[in-house]
Amino acid sequence: MHPGLRLVAAYAWRLLVVGALVYAAFKVLGRFELVAVAVFLGLVVTALLRPLADLLERLVPRPLAVAVALIGSIVVVLGLLALVGSVAAAEAGRLLGEFRGGVGRISRWLEQPPFRIKHGTLQGLHERISTFVATHRGTLISRALSGANRVVEALTGAALALFCSVFFIYGGDRMWLWFHAQLPETARSPWDRAARAAWSTFAGYTRGIIIVAASNATLVGIALFLLRVPLALPLTVLVFFATFIPLIGAPIALAVATVVALAGRGPVIAAAVLVLIVVIGQIEGHVLHPLVMSWAVQLHPVVVAISVIGGSLVAGVIGAIVAVPMVSVVWSVVRTLRTGD
């Protein structure tokens, strides 16, 4: 047998075994999706709040430092959500009138060059949408009610994530030392190096993406307020959370802002927001990500794009969010074990 063919065969069956193990792991995680997501969120909270708890520990006992860090963060998040809700509720009446006039402006704009869409076509589309909603009202309501189960699952996952984060922040290092002591002595050193590299990469990515998301949201918020786009604050928060999906999240959120600007402020302001999408994308891709993320994640943009798309195909939005940190952690572990650092 040719040596090259022997080498290819050796790599092939090993890759098949690794692929089977990865597939089995994803199948198991799929069956326990709620638990896996809750643990992931617990690790995210730990990466964000562990430094704060360590800082507060210099002033107060460790349990109180953990409680202050967690409760303070929850109060800040809930206060922000309450502020967004109050702003949206206050602008609801005015925004409804603007949207009604905006829909008419959009229709007239589409009837003009270069689109030249006939008025009857737009009117027919509106009637078909209204008919579809009226015909399938029961189905839509049932789907909305089934979404209540998702809300219960989300609350359960959030409670489990908070529960896990309490113990991770308070004594995560002791939990790792206990697990480390259960390993054979010959395996302890590589496992310790791999775990430390994985946590350093994950924590760095989590803190980095928070910085990038906050910077994006700040730039977008200033621009939307200056352009007087309706629902500027809720749209800013949407951009913040959408940035957690690399490459595609922020553009999608800004596309929503463009639609709102088109309906509420007209095509000129919508064009300005569209330009904003390009500018913010360039700043994020060429300034923020290289400066903030290079010290934590060393992945080529092609790898990031493939990871996001692959994760979304496997597990939807959740997969798109967790794909890049997972790939980053795996690459960091492989690099550490290979170099022996």
Over residues 249-257, mean pLDDT:
79
**Confidence at residue 165, expressed as pLDDT on a 0 to 100 scale:** 92
The reported pLDDT for the residue numbered 269 is 82
Read off the pLDDT band of 20 (50, 70, 90): confident
Distance CA 278, CA 286 (A): 12
- If one counts every other C-beta atom within 10 angstroms of the C-beta of residue 216, the result is 24
Is the pLDDT reported for residue 144 higher than 60? Answer: no
- Encoded tokens for 277: 């999408």
Maximum Cα–Cα distance across the chain: 78
SS3 268: helix
The pTM assigned to this predicted structure is 0.74
Q: What is the pLDDT of residues 268-281, one digit of tens each?
A: 888 888 888 778 77
The CA radius of gyration of the chain, in Å to the nearest whole number, is 25
pLDDT(152) > 80:
no
Name the percent of the chain lying above pLDDT 70.
74
- Measure the CA dihedral 223/226/228/231, to 10°: 40
Predicted confidence at residue 67, as pLDDT, reads 92
- Dist. CA 94–CA 279, nearest whole Å: 30
Tens digit of each residue's pLDDT (9 = 90 or more) over 26-52: 777 777 778 888 898 999 999 999 999
**What integer is the mean pLDDT of 252-264?**
78
Q: Is 81 a residue whose pLDDT tops 60?
A: yes
Tell me what pLDDT residue 68 has.
92
- For 64-68, 239-243, 287-291, which range has the lowest pLDDT when averaged over its residues? 287-291
Q: Quickly state the pLDDT bin for 169 (edges 50, 70, 90).
A: very high
* CB-CB contact of 324 with 308 (8 Å): yes
% of the chain exceeding 90 in pLDDT: 8
Which span out of 37-46, 118-127, 202-211 was modeled with the highest average pLDDT?
Answer: 37-46
Distance CA 327, CA 288 (A): 20
Q: Could you state, in order of their start, the residue ranges of all structural domains in the chain?
A: 33-182
Separation CA 144–CA 150 (nearest Å): 10
Angle at 187 between CA 181 and CA 191, to 5 degrees: 80
Mean pLDDT value of segment 227-254: 80
Encoded tokens for 96: 């409804």
Give the C-alpha distances (Å, rounded to integers) separating 48 from 77, 198, 312. 14, 15, 25
Q: What is the pLDDT of residue 277?
A: 77
Q: What does the DSSP 8-state code read for residue 291?
A: I
165-177 exposure pattern, b = at least 16 Cβ within 10 A, e = fewer: bbebbbebeeebe
Residue 108 has a pLDDT of: 63
Residue bearing the bigger pLDDT, 154 or 57: 57
Is residue 283 within 8 Å of 271, Cβ to Cβ?
Answer: no
Q: At what angle do helices 249-265 and 62-111 cross, to 10 degrees?
A: 50
Burial class (CB in 10 A: 0-12, 13-18, 19+), 200: middle
Bigger pLDDT: 299 vs 137: 299
The CA distance from 187 to 329, in Å, is: 19
Residue with token string 């621009």: 223
Task: Evaluate if residue 321 carries a pLDDT over 70.
Answer: yes
Per DSSP, the residues of 6-75 read HHHHHHHHHHHHHHHHHHHHHHHHHHTHHHHHHHHHHHHHHHHHHHHHHHHTTTS-HHHHHHHHHHHHHH
